[in-house]
Structure 1
Amino acid sequence: MYVLNFYSPVFIDQLRRGRKTATIRLGDKSQKYRKGTVVMVTVGYQHSPRERIFEAVIDSVEVKRVRDLSPRDIEHDNPEFRRLEETIHFLEQIYGRKISHDDTVTVVRFSQIVDRPPELTERMRPSAPSQN
């Protein structure tokens, strides 16, 4: 199984609440992350214990320039951000280097795998027998 790891514990709540549904990774990661792949979403630092949050399926993988990140890309990566400059600053902190508008990033969107979505449970509930 593949792992989609996040270093910062601030993401745990966002992930669990379904507010974080994407990650923006520096560089072209299209060979590493593929649509339809099941991943274990974890939080923790390299060479340290990691907390398993949930399993997810990768919904899409899109490679683009930083300048082409949409407001939706930014919000799905970090619901607290609205502006591109906030995302650039955050990426600089994570990667420890200057990030330019020309840098390549990969937007990986994912969906949590649950035992049975509530809306599916409702649709599968048998209807009451008719009284003819």
Structure 2
Amino acid sequence: MQVLNFYSRIFADQLKRGRKTATIRLGDKSHKYRKNQLVLVTIGYQYSPRERIFEAVIDQVEVKRVKELSPRDIEHDNPEFRRHEEMIHFLEQIYGRAVTMEDEVTVVRFSQIVDSPSEFTDRKLGIGGAQN
């Protein structure tokens, strides 16, 4: 099984709450990730223990330039960001190099696999449970 790993612990909560549903990776990663592929989402650093977050299915893999990222693309990667400048700064921190609007990125959208989709959906939509 392919692993979709995140280095920063700040993403653990966003992933678990369903707020982070995509990752933007520098370069063309379309050879690595494919639509409908099953992946294990983890958090941790290389050569260190990693935390299993959940299994997911890849919904979409799209290669584009940074300047072509929509605010929605950026928000799905990091719910705190909307602007290209924020995304560029973040990518520069992760990859340790300058990133421009012309750089190629891969947007990988994914969905968590849950045991009971209706319960998960109901909970996310705030329905079910106690009635008013």
Q: Deviations along 1:38-59, whole A, 9 cap, x unmatched?
A: 0000000111110000000000
User: Which residue of structure 1 aligns with residue 2 of structure 2?
Assistant: 2
Q: Deviations along 1:26-81, whole A, 9 cap, x unmatched?
A: 00000100000000000001111100000000000000000000000000000001
Deviation at 1:118, TM superposition (A): 1.9
In angstroms, what is the RMSD of aligned CA positions? Answer: 1.5
| TM-score (structure 1 length as normaliser) | 0.89
Larger Rg, first or second structure (1 or 2): 1
Matched, 1:90 2:93: no
SS at match of 2:92: helix
Deviation at 1:108, TM superposition (A): 0.0
Listed as ranges, the gaps of 5+ residues in structure 1 are: 123-132
Listed as ranges, the gaps of 5+ residues in structure 2 are: 123-132
Distance 1:101 1:121, change over 3 A: closer
Report runs of 4+ in structure 1 exceeding 4 Å deviation.
119-122
| TM-score (structure 2 length as normaliser) | 0.89
Equivalents in 1 of 2:121, 2:67: separation in Å?
41
Equivalents in 2 of 1:101, 1:23: separation in Å?
17
Amino acid at match of 2:109: R
Distance 1:59 1:121, change over 3 A: closer
Superposed, 1:11-90 pairs within 5 Å as: 11-90=11-90
Equivalents in 2 of 1:120, 1:42: separation in Å?
20
